Amino acid sequence: MIRPRHLVLLLAACPALLAQVSPEQFAAIRKEGLANSKVMAHLDHLVNRIGPRLTGSDNLTVAGEWARDEFKSMGIENAHLEQWGEFAVGFNRGPWFGRMTKPEAMELVCNTNAWTAGTRMPSKGLLLPAPKDAEGLAAMRGKLRGVWLLNPAGSMLGDLTAALEEEGGFGFVTGRVGRPGRDGSVNDLLLTGGRPLVDWDKLPTMPVVQIRADQYQTIQKHLDDGQEVEVEFDIRNHFRKGPIPLYNVIADIPGTEHPEQFVVVGGHLDSWDGATGTTDNGTGTSTTLEAARILMAIGAKPKRTIRFMLWSGEEQGLLGSRAWVQAHKDEMENYSACLVHDGGTNYLSGIAGMVEMRPQLQTVFEPILGLSSEMPFRIRDIEAFTPIGSDHESFTAAGVPGFFWDQAGRANYTHTHHTQYDTYDAAIPEYQKHSSVVIAVGALGIANLPEMLTRENMKVQRGFGGGRRGGGRQLGVMLGDDGVTIGEVTEGSVAAKAGLKAGDKILKIGDTAIASQGDLRRALGGGDAKKSLTYERAGEKKTVEVTFTR
């Protein structure tokens, strides 16, 4: 057997071995992927015909069956659904709208979180400030029928809900603070989230409607001026009694020499349902499908099996990929690599691996280096695989090199990520085509390596729970366009426990000054579980200690 270190020397000495994808194969992949592309057709059907794909929704089930059938139509006969778990209660979102009718007419940009209650009919009524304490609630008793309450305090939510149910009130309205933009102003983004821990016997009954930050400010001004505010919402959220089975989609192009060894290519099929789930992650789903189509169309015969995987439950914590890896943990030594596209529609601009992997990666991606001068590609050396927050981490945790593509381009991922703007028009066709070619070449090239991708000196930073696009998940925050200003703090998160709030600007973590998302990710990528964090709020600098669970 050729050892990894010997392989490196051999590759360097023998340029003839530098073609894991032959010039003829690359030319065929390029032509099929650019001239005959179906990637936007895949995306169109997924996000416009099927729509959003919340884990546990009917749409996700339909999307999984559709994706399986698409793989089969390409000639991948083994394509199938593999169940990884179930949810006790399903959730489907119907249409919704909101408006202010007094003192002025205004359509309200609004949403609710998943797994929360909707209305049963158009519900028009006065909007009143929610009482802040028991005394205030007592004073409002008998006046809650047909009203909406604005900005309920978390400590009062249970009592207020009971009072609204008893008297026939409609629900709650909150101001959704958007992510700060580069100029520090609050933009117009509405984020969608939610928790699937719902009991069928204790379903939520009162809707909590979130409205855009600027519109909330307008309404608050009317109330401060003593004007009567009337609003109307119609929000059709529906629960479905479970158990709801949950699946991953799997399709293999069998290897010709080492069919028992695998290269995984994938993305996550599920999405949040505040829009159509285009850039998170319809774009990655469609490039996965397209890479499979390209390789089947050119008659590729990889030495190792290329396994295409579309996971679900990613948005709830990488549930589908983690469950799959756990169920197949004894097989992980046979997995050469995992390539995940989950960074939106910008083109794939590079790949990052251990320095020991560079010679092999160089032979794989040599053709891509000259694919497009306008969309350059580079191979980066890293000291360790660090948490980012996508399904490749399920594989790195099991010792498999898991890659999250570098991406670049003109798209603003923050603008669409989990927001109302995550729709088909956000996708950039030329980037999607280019990325599909990169994925197809990468998959075939790694599958054709003389040896599996080396794991020599492979390091994985563990225990920090992710932080895609700059440490946000690790801290429990959503970040603004500048990558350092907090737009939203998740309840119960590390940031919440430290007292951080929306609008705070992160300046320093430990000894590392933070000027970008990359700085933040590197600062959070290792070291002690307890770190100092300096931030700026209203022009004042403050320092707190944050502690991460290992």
Please report, rounded to a whole number, the percentage of residues in the chain having pLDDT higher than 70: 87
Predicted pLDDT at 492: 64
Query: What pLDDT, on the 0 to 100 scale, is given for residue 267?
Result: 98
Annotate 296-324 with three-state secondary structure.
HHCCCCCCEEEEEEEECCHHHCCHHHHHH
Residues 3, 7: Cα–Cα separation, whole Å: 6
β-pairing verdict for 123-129 and 230-253: antiparallel
Q: What is the dihedral of CA 281, 285, 291, 294, to 10 degrees?
A: -130
**pLDDT reported for residue 150:** 97
93, β-bridge pairs: 237
Q: How confident is the model at residue 100 (pLDDT cuts 50, 70, 90)?
A: very high
CATH of span 468-547: 2.30.42.10
How does DSSP classify residue 122?
Answer: -
Where exactly does CATH 3.40.630.10 map onto the chain? 19-78+254-447
User: What integer pLDDT is reported at residue 539 of this predicted model?
Assistant: 87
pLDDT for 514: 86
Q: How do residues 406-457 score in pLDDT, each as one tens digit?
A: 999 999 998 999 999 999 999 999 999 999 999 999 999 999 999 999 999 9
Edge to edge, the sheet with strand 530-537 lists 512-513, 505-509, 530-537, 540-547
Q: Which CATH number fits domain 94-242: 3.90.850.10, 3.40.50.720, 3.40.50.300, 3.50.30.30?
A: 3.50.30.30
Residues of the chain with CATH 2.30.42.10: 468-547
Q: Which residue has the tokens 């026939």?
A: 168
Cα angle for residues 106, 111, 115 (degrees, 5° grid): 155
Four-residue CA torsion sign, 16, 19, 20, 22 = negative
Euclidean distance between CA atoms 34 and 38, whole angstroms: 9
pLDDT band per the 50, 70, 90 thresholds, residue 11: very low
Does pLDDT of 15 surpass 60? no
CATH 3.50.30.30-classified regions of the chain? 94-242
Terminal Cα-to-Cα distance of the chain (whole angstroms): 38
Rounded to 5 degrees, φ, ψ at 448 are: -95, 0
Instruction: List pLDDT tens digits, range 266-309.
Output: 999 999 999 999 999 999 999 999 999 999 999 999 999 999 99
Q: What is the pLDDT of the chain when averaged over all its residues?
A: 90
Check whether domain 19-78+254-447 has CATH 3.40.630.10, yes or no? yes
